[in-house]
Amino acid sequence: MILNFLQSIGAYVLDAFASLGRASLFLMQVLMGIKDVLLRPRLLIRELYSVGVLSLLIIVFSAIFVGMVLSLLGYVTLVDFGAESSLGVLVSLSLIRELGPVLSALLFSGRAGSALTAEIGLMKATEQLASMEMMAVDPIRRIVTPRFLAGFISLPLLTIIFMALGIYAGYLVGSVWLGVDEGSYWSQMQNKVEFWHDVVNGIIKSVVFGFVVTWIAVYQGYNAMPTSEGVSRATTNSVVYSALAVLGLDFILTAIMFI
Amino acid sequence: MGSSRKTEIFVGAFVLLALLAFFVLAMNISNLGSLGSDKGYTVNAQFDNVGGLQPRAKVTLSGVSVGRVTGISYDKETFRAVVTMTINGGVDYLPSDTQASIYTSGLLGEQYISLEPGAEDEVLAEGSAVTLTQSAVVLEEIIGKLLVSFTTKD
């Protein structure tokens, strides 16, 4: 009875390590293909379109609403202390340090990561990957690496757009609607937001998230069971694991960067 | 060709938009625009008490921000706190007897250093020391002094 219990724990842990090892080996193979992709940038540009440009709409939409809500709630609290001139600092620091990178990564894993997993998984289920191998085309280099690279490049760019738009939307609600002085909104922000300490660290966060989210997405797709149920499970796993990884890593990165 | 061209145009616009947003973040939102590539020069000042002064606090001249505190340490020979600050290169006309005081912005705001120019002809340069300093006001000390003055009156 106890031995069975111990065995199930052991099997679970060993399984987890084995899949981590498989994912790392897979990542190695994907990274080895980068030079081939850079020699044929057409492939990369097509993926940048489907991963980056098509995610733009949801990123823009959420950035505007998150910025507006942040400004509205911040104003309600700050005005009690007569500190509503710090509204710009509140909105910009929360967006740059935390909400921009994290929300973009979560939205990105829902919009682009799941699509990558489903696409690659379906290619596997319909044996397109196997037929490529038959034609001596490496499916990892031809299919996976461009998608990985596109996701890795797109997320930081989307995050930067998220931050800038969110802060502007916060300005629209705070200054134009609620009447916080325009000068103090921008000038206090410029005084408090450090380029290297805040902006660059926020972008580093999003680079890490982009790496992890696309890694999980392409790995889940490539390792999906070649059935319709397998593809659906891989897509779910891709989004769930990405979200958990992003939130966990965010805590670690925040502890390293901003303490 | 047509669809590939359209894709490339969209990707180009996307990258350009991100670069634009990055430029806005760097110049309009963070302090890179105001401090910029201006290297500045470092001066030291010794204080009896720095209170709650933090690295990266502002250094002001009549309220105008002219630099930042870059480091706070303790001198074991003079038993005083040493504040290192970087002052913008453009502000190279501060007399050597300039006074540095630690003030608090607002009632509960953060602390900053205020410089008051003196009258000497010699100016502060890289590595020079500000000798005239006024420590941070610690609220407990004032309350203590007030209490003492109240009790000794009777």
Find where tokens 């958990």 sit.
A244
pLDDT at A202: 94
Let me know whether B82 and B99 are in one domain.
yes
DSSP for A75-89? HHHHGGGT-GGGHHH
pLDDT at B2: 63
Residue at B149 is within a domain: no
Residue at B131 is within a domain: yes
- Which pair of structure tokens corresponds to residue A81? 């202390």
pLDDT at A30 over 70: yes
Let me know whether B54 and B24 are in one domain.
no
Find where tokens 């706190």 sit.
B81
Start-to-end Cα distance in chain B: 97
The residue with greater pLDDT, A84 or A126, is A126
pLDDT at A100 over 90: yes
Q: Which domain holds residue B22?
A: 2-30
Q: What is the overall mean pLDDT for chain A?
A: 92
Let me know whether B107 and B123 are in one domain.
yes
- In degrees, rounded to 5, the angle at the alpha carbon of residue A89 between the alpha carbons of residues A86 and A90 is 90
pLDDT at B73 over 60: yes
For chain B, say whether A45 makes contact (Cβ under 8 Å). yes
Let me know whether B86 and B117 are in one domain.
yes
Phi, psi of A217 (to 5 degrees): -65, -50
Which amino acid does the sequence have at A61?
A: F
Mutation test of the interface with chain A: which of B23, B31, B37, choosing the one with the most A Cβ atoms within 10 A? B31
Give percent above pLDDT 90 in chain A.
77
Let me know whether B77 and B24 are in one domain.
no
Pairing of strands B80-87, B58-61: unpaired
Residues in contact with B105: Cβ distance below 8 Å, sequence separation at least 6, in sequence order: B111, B112
Residue at B24 is within a domain: yes
Give residue A44's Cα distance to chain centre: 18
pLDDT at B154: 59
**Complex ipTM above 0.90?**
no
Half-sphere exposure of A233 (CA within 13 A, CB side): 9
pLDDT at B36: 47
Start-to-end Cα distance in chain A: 47
Number of folded domains in chain B?
Answer: 2
Model confidence band, residue B126 (pLDDT cutoffs 50, 70, 90): confident
Let me know whether B44 and B71 are in one domain.
yes
- Integer CA distances (angstroms), A86 to A63, A79, A180, B107, in order: 20, 10, 9, 14
Three-state secondary-structure class, residue A40: coil
Q: Quick one: average pLDDT of B37-45?
A: 79
pTM of this structure: 0.78
Residues of B in contact with A160 (CB under 8 A): 18, 21-22, 25
Q: What is the overall mean pLDDT for chain B?
A: 84
Let me know whether B23 and B53 are in one domain.
no
Residues of A in contact with B28 (CB under 8 A): 186, 190
Residues in contact with A60: Cβ distance below 8 Å, sequence separation at least 6, in sequence order: A161, A165
Let me know whether B83 and B16 are in one domain.
no
Torsion sign (Cα): B24, B30, B33, B34:
positive
DSSP for A181-215? -HHHHHHHHHHH--IIIIIIHHHHHHHHHHHHHHH
| Contact criterion met (CB < 8 Å) for A194 and B17 | no
Residues of B in contact with A93 (CB under 8 A): none
Q: Quick one: average pLDDT of A246-258?
A: 94
C-alpha distance from B80 to closest chain A C-alpha (Å): 26
Let me know whether B20 and B44 are in one domain.
no
Residues in contact with A74: Cβ distance below 8 Å, sequence separation at least 6, in sequence order: A87, A90, A91, A170, A174
C-alpha distance from B65 to closest chain A C-alpha (Å): 9
Residue at B153 is within a domain: no
pLDDT at B108: 65
- Which pair of structure tokens corresponds to residue A139? 């499916």
pLDDT at B92 over 60: yes
Residues in contact with A161: Cβ distance below 8 Å, sequence separation at least 6, in sequence order: A56, A59, A60, A63, B17, B18, B21
How far apart, in whole angstroms, are the C-alpha atoms of residue B56 and residue B72?
A: 10
pLDDT digits (tens, 9 = 90+) for A38-80: 888 888 999 999 999 999 999 999 999 999 999 999 999 998 8
The answer to whether B84 and B113 are in contact (CB under 8 A) is no
C-alpha distance from A48 to closest chain B C-alpha (Å): 7
Pairing of strands B80-87, B41-47: antiparallel
pLDDT at B35: 52
Find where tokens 């005083």 sit.
B80
Q: Quick one: average pLDDT of A146-164?
A: 95
For chain A, say whether B65 makes contact (Cβ under 8 Å). yes
Residues in contact with A79: Cβ distance below 8 Å, sequence separation at least 6, in sequence order: none
Closest CA to A245 of A224, A214, A221: A214
The residue with greater pLDDT, B127 or A205, is A205
The residue with greater pLDDT, B33 or A190, is A190
Partners of B68 in the β-ladder: B58, B86
pLDDT digits (tens, 9 = 90+) for A229-242: 999 999 999 999 99
Let me know whether B11 and B79 are in one domain.
no
Let me know whether B13 and B42 are in one domain.
no
Q: Quick one: average pLDDT of A177-202?
A: 85
pLDDT at A223 over 70: yes
DSSP for B22-37? HHHIIIIISTHHHHTT
